[in-house]
Structure 1
Amino acid sequence: MRTQVAIIGAGPAGLLLSHLLAQGGVDSVVLETRSEQYVAARIRAGILEHSSVEVLRSAGLDTRLRAEGDEHRGIYLQWPHERHHLDFVGLTGRSVWVYGQTEVQKDLVAARKAVGQEIHYEVSGTALHDVSSDRPHVTFTDRDGAARRLDAEVIAGCDGSFGPSRAAAPAARTYERVYPYSWLGILADVAPSTDELIYAWHPHGFALHSMRSATVSRLYLQVPTGTDPATWSDERIWDELAVRLGHGQDGWRLTPGPITERSVLPMRSHVRTPMRHGSLFLAGDAAHIVPPTGAKGLNLAIADVALLSRALIARLRDGDPGPAEAYSDTAQRRVWRCTHFSWWMTTMLHTSGEEFDAELQLAQLRWVTSSRAGATGLAENYAGLPIGLDAPR
């Protein structure tokens, strides 16, 4: 087998990259360890920033997003007895969209199938070879048990933090921050109790009221790392959400419903640099992880892929190696800005049990919600910086 770009991973990053490359006249083959059904069902991110929506629009992938997604002007920041709305559109002219990663995946799968994209699901033993050279290749076993080899000019690692791509690209430096708490997340078959997301600071710990649709709510509670979700009954979860989200405060009510899924998500930041090793380029979770507080995980992956597709088209179609040489440095300016924003949101909203920390957090929340400069800074980062550009200096 031979192609121009071998893409490892058929999640949103890998499929979006194959789509953008095809639009630029570059062919690719996608390899995925999991089944198509497994990848499609993964419940992950649910917020698309303005820049991500623009990428999907320009790629012709926003039809269902515009019809079925929910555009939000901003978020609520809350602490006991106070709730404040931050109007992103009024502050920055940019909105965000509630549209789950599962829906983005459906759109990408449909678009790639429509043009006959070659995708190999349920492969095993994937190994990357000669990535330091200009003739890399990938070996794997297909779902029928046959040994295969895929030769390429470039390999794109879009296979997450546990895939083979990260291991094949030795990092010059790795940075990591592990937080001493996790999120207990639930999906519930109940209409959201809020029109926009609520980020709540509470002495018991952080809580978030999000949503996936008009009939499905997504909610989170800060819990100690190592928490077993089975130790939280449905009743306990709803009771604690009601406390932290302010049920009854100014007449607002949290409506409980049947919980269909629960899981515990550890919180950590991880950045490896550079995001390129020879002919291997990393994108998305293969290169960086952020805590979900700032809603940046999927959006960073989309930004990486938007940059990487332009770089590879310039190199493989136009013979211009410049953008590919600059890819890692360019991408990491945005990665570090979003890593900082995710850390800032996380440390502002999650409790440590220390009274001093609590007072600092409340002072910061009061400043963000009372200062136009503070509110604009949060809105600018949350709604999304331009792709390929650093924060304004």
Structure 2
Amino acid sequence: MRTQVGIIGAGPAGLFLSHLLKQQGIESVVLEARSRAYVEARVRAGVLETGTVEIMERLGLDSRLKREGMVDEGIDMRFRGRTIHINLPELAGKSVMIYGQQEIVKDLIAARIAAGDPLIFEAKVTKLSNIDSESPVIHYQHDGEDKTLECDFIAGCDGFHGVSRPAMPQNVITTYDHTFNFAWLGVLARARPIADMTYTNSDDGFALCSRRSMEVSRLYLQVPFDEKLDNWSDARFWDELHKRMFDYDRSEIAEGEIFQRDVAQLRSFVTEPMQYGRLFLAGDAVHIVPPTGAKGLNLAVADVRVLSRGLTEFYRTGGRGRLDAYSARCLERIWKTVRYSTRMTELLHKFDEHSPFQRNLQLSELEYIAGSRAAQTTIAEQYAGLPFVED
């Protein structure tokens, strides 16, 4: 096969890019190693910045989002039994939308398939060749056969463990990585969620109460990085969540059937540059942020927005100005977002290695935020979403 842009990965980055390119009349083929069922079932964060929602609207793919998404106008941060309420519209002038990442993926896949645009599942990419030429090639396996996709450009949207980033010459890239020594135990429960997205920093560790709908709660507990799911019965999970949320009389948090659970380690990761020759990286292939800030999907959308503009300029005028500046344009926003997500992680989690002095500094910062509109505004602006990079 041959196409203009070969896209590796049918996650948010790859799918959004395919639709943005189609809107500009640019052809693409999306290759995804997993099955459609697997991709659509992956549960990830569900907090959408205003800019992400606006792109869904611009693509004409927001009908289900409008019906089922939930506007969220505030977050709560608890410590010492107190609550700091961050009012997003009042402090930042905008709100966020709660709509699961897997639901966005379903919408984007359905639209691409309905339009008859190439989206090939269970196509495992094995290597990339000629990425520093004008005719790069994606080598992949599908239906038991070795196949190739020739293209003008390759978009590596295949996540942290994909083949795209390792295909770049290792002597031209720099990697920045920080892994936290704890993880999140996350569950989905058929239980009425509490009113606002609520983070807590307790002496027993971090916890988070969020929602996927008015009937399903997404709940998290900080656990050791090597924690096993078998160690957590439903009763133990609920007991610990009530305690960390200062819900001692168990009157606030509704319990229900836990129907899905997972453990995810927290890390901050950035590789730069995000491009080499005709290969461009986007999303988790080039950066990962701790989930505390709910930024992973939104950052991927910001990447491919810049990339789609660069590709549009190239095919309309032959110019490479925007493409050549892709890394620099994206990385400024990426580093600001990594900073915010990492700082929120450091602020809200219990660190075993902290001395009593460091623990008191952390709690004192929360005390400061509780009494400072300026500090609350800083959090609100970043949580609601930094502006997109403009030309």
Q: If the length of structure 1 is used for normalisation, what is the TM-score? A: 0.96
| Residue of structure 2 equivalent to 1:255 | 254
The one-letter amino acid paired with 2:196 is: E
Q: What's the offset of the Cα at 1:54? A: 1.7
Contact 2:76–2:84 (Cα < 8 Å) also in 1: yes
- Give the secondary-structure state (helix, strand or coil) at the position aligned to 1:184: strand
Q: Which digits, 9 at most, give the CA deviation of each residue in 1:276-324, with x for residues without a partner?
A: 0110000000000111000011110011111111111111233221110
| Residue of structure 1 equivalent to 2:79 | 79
Q: Which digits, 9 at most, give the CA deviation of each residue in 1:233-269, with x for residues without a partner?
A: 11100000000011147x8521111111111110101
Q: Report matched runs for 1:179-218 at 5 Å.
A: 179-192=180-193, 194-218=194-218
Please report the RMSD computed on the Cα atoms of aligned residues, expressed in angstroms: 1.4
| Residue of structure 2 equivalent to 1:67 | 67
- Give the secondary-structure state (helix, strand or coil) at the position aligned to 1:246: coil
Whole-Å separation in 1 of the counterparts to 2:104 and 2:251 = 32
Q: What's the offset of the Cα at 1:107? A: 1.0
Q: Which digits, 9 at most, give the CA deviation of each residue in 1:169-225, with x for residues without a partner?
A: 235210001111111111111111x11100100011000001111111100001111
| Residue of structure 1 equivalent to 2:42 | 42
Whole-Å separation in 2 of the counterparts to 1:166 and 1:369 = 42
Q: Structure 1 regions of 5+ residues with no counterpart? A: none
- Give the secondary-structure state (helix, strand or coil) at the position aligned to 2:221: strand
Whole-Å separation in 2 of the counterparts to 1:218 and 1:356 = 33
Whole-Å separation in 1 of the counterparts to 2:247 and 2:149 = 56
Whole-Å separation in 2 of the counterparts to 1:266 and 1:122 = 27
Whole-Å separation in 2 of the counterparts to 1:80 and 1:234 = 25
Whole-Å separation in 1 of the counterparts to 2:167 and 2:4 = 19
| Residue of structure 2 equivalent to 1:274 | 273
Whole-Å separation in 1 of the counterparts to 2:312 and 2:236 = 52
Q: Which digits, 9 at most, give the CA deviation of each residue in 1:358-377, with x for residues without a partner?
A: 21121111222221110110
Contact 2:125–2:163 (Cα < 8 Å) also in 1: no
| Residue of structure 1 equivalent to 2:386 | 385
Contact 1:285–1:301 (Cα < 8 Å) also in 2: yes
Whole-Å separation in 1 of the counterparts to 2:332 and 2:61 = 26
Whole-Å separation in 2 of the counterparts to 1:320 and 1:179 = 42
| Residue of structure 1 equivalent to 2:22 | 22
Q: What's the offset of the Cα at 1:30? A: 0.6
Whole-Å separation in 1 of the counterparts to 2:218 and 2:212 = 6
Contact 1:333–1:389 (Cα < 8 Å) also in 2: no
| Residue of structure 2 equivalent to 1:368 | 369
| Residue of structure 2 equivalent to 1:305 | 304
| Residue of structure 1 equivalent to 2:231 | 231
Whole-Å separation in 1 of the counterparts to 2:116 and 2:195 = 40
- 4+ residue segments displaced more than 6 Å: none
Q: What's the offset of the Cα at 1:389? A: 5.8
Q: Report matched runs for 1:85-164 at 5 Å.
A: 85-142=85-142, 144-164=143-163
- Give the secondary-structure state (helix, strand or coil) at the position aligned to 2:259: strand
| Residue of structure 2 equivalent to 1:8 | 8
Count of paired positions: 387
Q: Which moved more, 1:171-180 or 1:24-33?
A: 171-180
Contact 2:113–2:119 (Cα < 8 Å) also in 1: no
Determine what percentage of the aligned residue pairs are the same residue: 48
Q: If the length of structure 2 is used for normalisation, what is the TM-score? A: 0.96
Whole-Å separation in 2 of the counterparts to 1:125 and 1:208 = 37
The one-letter amino acid paired with 2:366 is: L
Q: Which moved more, 1:296-305 or 1:380-389?
A: 380-389
Q: What's the offset of the Cα at 1:106? A: 1.2
The one-letter amino acid paired with 1:335 is: I
